[in-house]
Structure 1
Amino acid sequence: PAWQRTKLGGSNSPKKKSLWEVFEPKLLPVTLIGIALAGIPLLGGWGTTSWLIPWSEKAVGRADPGAKAIASIMRAGGGAIGSFLGGVLANLFGRRGTYFTISLASLLVTQWVFWFLTPKSALFPGSVFLVGFISMIYFGWLPLYLPELFPTHVRATGSGVSFNFGRIGTAFGVLGAGAVSTFFQGDYAATGRVTSLVYLLGMIAICFAPDTSKRKLTEGD
């Protein structure tokens, strides 16, 4: 294996590669795809589903001091379960099909919550659980798919760049989401209806991603 040749320092040991190789023309397209696929779920979480918590507090107020805590618990509980399923679903139904379906489901459920429910609705806690559950399936999918985008010698680098540049993009996106909230004068429902459209970008981005389902992760790829 490649790692053993590297350890022994043999003549066939692969040369060390720099971080910037993933931005060279050969790998740049898949790197940008990786960044987009990693950034969209993060932006969906921080820029969309996170509005459910302050919305609960604002809508219910003193009438139910525990509403904010319940919303937080339901969202986190759903997410904890959903995050375990991404890899399983990707293996069962394919990488691209799974990501597209997660994006579509996330879009539909968040739009439904922000258009048709309020924190006072009986269905709201369960719906928040569902939002957390679906939107966190991404994070079981990403660790499986991102390494498959890159050749062995930059696999860890490419995955790390995708995750972390996605986070950087998310930071700017969250600032934009805050501006949307300001535009709607703190109307969390209206804000969520707009920011949840980010999941449409996920449905588009995955169409440009390579199908890695049958790709063998060997040192020569």
Structure 2
Amino acid sequence: MSNSAGETETADVAWYSGISRYQWLVLVIACAGWIFDVYEGQIFNITRSDMLLEILDGDEAAVKRYGDYFLGIFLAGGTFGGLLFGSLADRFGRRPTMVATILMYSLFSGLTFFAQELWHVAALRFLVAMGVGGEWAVAASLVSEVFPTRARAQASAIFHGSSVLGTWLAAIAGIVVGSEWRYAYLIGVLPALLILWVRASVKETDTWKTSKAAEKDVQPGSFRDLLFNAQWARRALLGMALAAVGLGTFWSVTVAGQNLAELRLEADGVSADLIDAKSKFAYGIVQTTGGGLGLIAFGMLCQKFGRKPTFIGYHVLALAIVPIVCFVPQSYTQLLLLLPIFGFLTLGIHAGYAVYFPELFPTRLRATGTSFCFNGGRLAAVPILLYSGDLKGSGDVSLPWAVTGLSLLFLLGIVIVCFLPETKGRELPE
């Protein structure tokens, strides 16, 4: 299935009207892969203290430092894998590339169970991230090509919004396994079963097959074509910068919700055992629920108001909510009331990448360009993450002030969006 030529948006027709069983199936499969993608990233964020305390023999200062360093390694691995597999998806097809990425991240997640040294963790996080980065770009391109123009934004937002289930799964796994962190990584082997479903159910899109047959002088998935064609290069570089803002603020600001909960609970005199469970619940369940609503809402809002106004609105409101969450709550309960709004605005932006990036590039470069934007943004966000780790670990600046300062990056996101094109109601470029 693919977008029909000349299709226009119809205000009187529900976006889901007329969507075929196969189109829903593709969305479900894409969501399943992305859920476990997110699980692989979040399970480290949730279990890293227990993991690194064991490997570093209880050195708490080193745990904080290496925790953010390993997140940087994860972002770098996602960049490399995303660029590699995005290009392969444009050259050889969406289905075989999706199979390869799922196999990669599930296999190396399971092997983390056996990690004993820091270099084991570093290598495995890099390899897991390669699969994670590649799978997102392929799935985002697949969903955008399978759904019609009038439903593309909502379907893509649902796809990215399913990440909430991955975070919930990671939070629940982290709470259940407690300090026995190794078992949480065995769960990451389960998506290998998706491979059978993908191979049996997913077909190459008509859009990709038509483009493949028509290409004679240009190599699909070519980074030369992407970066030396002025039109596509401009979109790719601006898209990468936009994603860098979102990913940088995610790892330095959004995930700090758990740390802010810990700080609040410590100030309230709660015992250490309860602090661990309650902070994981605050971030992994309460805040993430708000984030999921923000992701789904992004698709509806950008279909109504346009991609650029929705991006700008989210960035402005995210900038406003961060200092409120950092300084206003005087109890854990008050913080719990604010965290869903915090998650809605700071995490909800990310649905825009799944909606918007595939709309910026022609079919021969769709997965490559989408991956360059999102996963190139991962690499560009690494310095932000490293700076964030040093800032939070230095002791010179309190956590609330550090998080508030890092949230100023949302201003940069607003500026970047102003230089990108509006794609609302337009067919995918061919």
User: Could you say whether these structures have the same fold, taking a TM-score greater than 0.5 normalized by the shorter chain as the test?
Assistant: yes
* Correspondence 1:152 to 2:363: yes
| Residue aligning to 1:24 | 228
Whole-Å separation in 2 of the counterparts to 1:212 and 1:162: 16
> Which of 187, 212, 218 is the matching residue for 2:398?
187
| Residue aligning to 1:41 | 246
* Correspondence 1:102 to 2:309: no
Whole-Å separation in 2 of the counterparts to 1:194 and 1:54: 16
Aligned pairs for 1:175-214 within 5 A = 175-185=386-396, 187-214=398-425
Change (3 A) 1:153 1:128: same
| Residue aligning to 1:50 | 255
Normalised by the length of structure 2, the TM-score is 0.47
Contact 2:260/2:399 (CA < 8 Å) preserved in 1? yes
Change (3 A) 1:6 1:45: closer
- Unaligned segments of structure 1, at least 5 residues: none
> Which of 114, 125, 129 is the matching residue for 2:326?
114
Whole-Å separation in 1 of the counterparts to 2:211 and 2:237: 29
- Percentage identity across aligned positions? 26
* Correspondence 1:13 to 2:207: no
Whole-Å separation in 2 of the counterparts to 1:175 and 1:4: 42
- Unaligned segments of structure 2, at least 5 residues: 1-205
Q: CA shift at 1:21, angstroms?
A: 2.2
* Correspondence 1:75 to 2:277: no
Contact 1:184/1:191 (CA < 8 Å) preserved in 2? no
Change (3 A) 1:95 1:2: closer
Higher helix share: 2
Change (3 A) 1:4 1:139: same
Q: Deviations over 1:95-142 (max 9, x none)?
A: 100000010111111122123335x25421121111111222222221
Contact 1:40/1:199 (CA < 8 Å) preserved in 2? yes
SS in 1 for 2:219: coil
Whole-Å separation in 1 of the counterparts to 2:390 and 2:279: 23
Normalised by the length of structure 1, the TM-score is 0.87
Whole-Å separation in 2 of the counterparts to 1:5 and 1:25: 22
Whole-Å separation in 1 of the counterparts to 2:429 and 2:415: 29
Higher relative contact order (CA 8 A, sep 6+): 1
Whole-Å separation in 2 of the counterparts to 1:4 and 1:57: 51
Moved more, 152-161 or 181-190: 181-190
Whole-Å separation in 1 of the counterparts to 2:418 and 2:382: 25
Instruction: Say how many residue pairs are matched.
Output: 215
Contact 1:46/1:174 (CA < 8 Å) preserved in 2? yes
Change (3 A) 1:192 1:13: closer
